Amino acid sequence: MFGTLSNIFRLTRAAWTLARHDAIFPAEYQSAFPASARVLGKFARLIAIRDRAKNPGERLAHALEKLGPSYVKFGQVLATRADVIGAEFARGLSRLQDRMEPFGLEQARATVEAEFGKPVEALFSEFGAPVAAASIAQVHRAKTIEGRDVAVKILRPDVAERIKRDIAAMRLGSKLAEGLFPDSKRMEPRAFVETVARSLVLELDLRLEAASANELSEAAVAAQNFFIPEVVWPLTAKKVLTTQWIDAIPLTDMDAVRAAGVDTVKLAGDLTDAFLSTALEQGVFHADLHAGNLFVTKDGLLWAVDFGIMGRLGRGERRYLARILHGFLTRDYDGAAQAHFDAGYVPGHHSRDDFASALRAVAEPIFGKSAGETPMSRVLMQLFEVTDLYDMHLQPQLVLLQKTMVQAEGVCRLLTDDHNMWQASGPAVERFMRRELGPQGRIEDLAEAFDRAKTILKRLPDTLDELTETAKALRERESRTPASPTWLIAALSVTAGASTAIAILLAVM
């Protein structure tokens, strides 16, 4: 009971904080709101801070910073979508990406010493002030005893407790959303919160982030131009992560990127290829690809940092995704529709042909268009209408993928209006489809079938024993009557189970 009241208080505090910054129903967007929202907006502005920022995005950024790291993550996603929320709004939100207020150097040093049980001077010959501060951690430039330049990431003090409270409040908020707005159930708000909660909790152990960085560096080999800093394992602990230092330009500083003569059109294509190649080829992808986590060297090499949130896809999910993307790329809308049905994303009672026609209506107007030619806000609205019409529920396992696709495409728009998502996606999808439909894919299919067959055969003796015991009990109970259909079914089940296992084994031999 006390916990629920505390969460209600936190949700109320969130609404109050947004209202104080005129960020809940901004005055600049009153004409776009329904009448009820306009009334609430006028009431909220009665308590708004005077002399607040003119940019509504900056006001929202200030509010989210006060609310905590979980809310900041939400703002970071919005900041990549200038085409949806407006360029001015996005500029205001961009401060969330890597320019948050850092905590003190002494606190950082104390965390390092507590984690390793040694003074900082015994670990690093140089340890500088923070060079970047984000919602969960900040980064310091340092030099190891051996003279190697490194980046040292340190968790914010008490961030774990703050995230725990945020998650509890968001869980309550998702329940209230489903109760007050039944139509929201289709979007699976509870599943979405659980996915976000899981990723945030994982971010609190930097040893896991180090492992993710190492894993992604192996997957990045599949991409055309994508690099991951090397982890310095002896200087990595739960609250401290040390990696090689990268001399590169952050993509948040587009003026510097252009001044360096970087080919931004190619870089946008490389980013799209990196995301899809790692996701499809290796089933792992960087799931927080906002501009603050991406860097480019003067010779055009693309680097990523911050591996707290990683996405993973099973082979089956990767196949469905590739089939859907391939259908759009080749304008095979029947194939894309069938992939949705095969994956269970669209309930079977709907017409596949009708759904294929709906996909065609969304894709054809934007096919082959560059970022500058595509009104993405209209496309997103149409996609939302399609998912509603066909009872498509949010897929929890794809939440991070969808969120990262939004982020990556948003960063590409920052780089250039000439980015063509169709051309950039094609090579990675084609490579995967060739592999999956070719000899390598067939061999992997056989290997999986063989593994399943082995599992069935291992379980077969136990299954036969159980069926025999069941048959024996039935026979004893029905000994005074002729053989019943139940006994026949049990006997047939034994035979069918053995036959199935043998047939599967023979099929893969």
Picking from 22, 16, 62, the residue whose alpha carbon sits closest to that of residue 42 is: 22
Angle made by CA atoms 16, 188, 328, in degrees to the nearest 5: 115
Does the annotation mark 288 as catalytic?
A: yes
CB neighbours of residue 319 within 10 Å:
20
CA separation for the pair 149, 155 (Å, rounded): 20
Q: What is the DSSP string of 10-22?
A: HHHHHHHHHHHTT
Q: Where would I find the H helices in 278-420?
A: 315-329, 333-343, 352-363, 376-389, 399-415
| C-alpha to C-alpha distance for 89 and 82, rounded to whole angstroms | 7
* Calpha distance 146→124 (Å, rounded): 9
Report how far residue 295's alpha carbon sits from residue 205's, in angstroms, rounded to the nearest whole number: 24
Residues 6 or more apart in contact with residue 467 via CB below 8 angstroms: 490, 493, 494, 497
> Which amino acid type is present at position 148?
R
Distance CA(92)–CA(96), nearest Å, equals: 9
Active-site choice (83, 98, 273, 288): 288
Whole-Å CA distances, 504 to 45, 452, 492, 497, 499: 68, 9, 18, 11, 9
| DSSP secondary structure letter of residue 101 | P
What residue has token string 């960020």? 23
Q: In this structure, are residues 232 and 150 in contact, taking their beta carbons and an 8 Å threshold? A: yes
Residues designated as active site: 288
